[in-house]
């Protein structure tokens, strides 16, 4: 059986790791953008990775919010059921 708290915490940790990775890549991208055009492919690759990571972070955040709302609703319905018995 899945522990919903654990799943939520795991998702939150993954989001934090991706945000940290995204921040690192943004710094690297800024550093490489000031270098000569000979490193343009590296700069473009970092920009592409940034976009992909931003997309992943947004998707994980959206999924996390959805899970949080779903399990809150389940918890609330269980609480109501217990109060009625």
Query: What letter does residue 37 receive in the DSSP assignment?
Result: G
Question: Which residue in this structure is represented by tokens 């919010």?
Answer: 65
Main-chain dihedrals φ then ψ at residue 2, nearest 5 degrees? -80, 135
**Which is nearest to 14 in space by CA: 52, 57, 75?**
57
pLDDT tens-digit series, residues 43-69 = 788 888 889 998 999 999 999 999 999
Give how many domains the chain has, as a whole number: 1
User: Over 80: is that where the pLDDT of 76 sits?
Assistant: yes
How much is the pLDDT for 39?
A: 63
Domain that holds residue 57: 4-84
Mean pLDDT in the chain? Answer: 81
The model's pTM: 0.50
Q: Which residue intervals of 1-85 are DSSP H helices?
A: 4-33, 40-84
* 52: Cα separation from own chain's centroid: 11
């Amino acid at each position: 059986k899945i522990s919903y708290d654990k799943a939520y915490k795991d998702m939150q940790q993954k989001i934090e790791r991706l945000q940290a990775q995204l921040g690192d890549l943004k710094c690297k991208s800024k550093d490489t953008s000031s270098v000569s055009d000979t490193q343009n492919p590296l700069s473009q690759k970092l920009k592409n990775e940034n976009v992909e990571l931003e997309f992943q972070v947004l998707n994980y955040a959206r999924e996390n919010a959805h899970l949080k709302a779903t399990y809150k609703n389940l918890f609330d319905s269980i609480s109501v059921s217990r109060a009625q018995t």
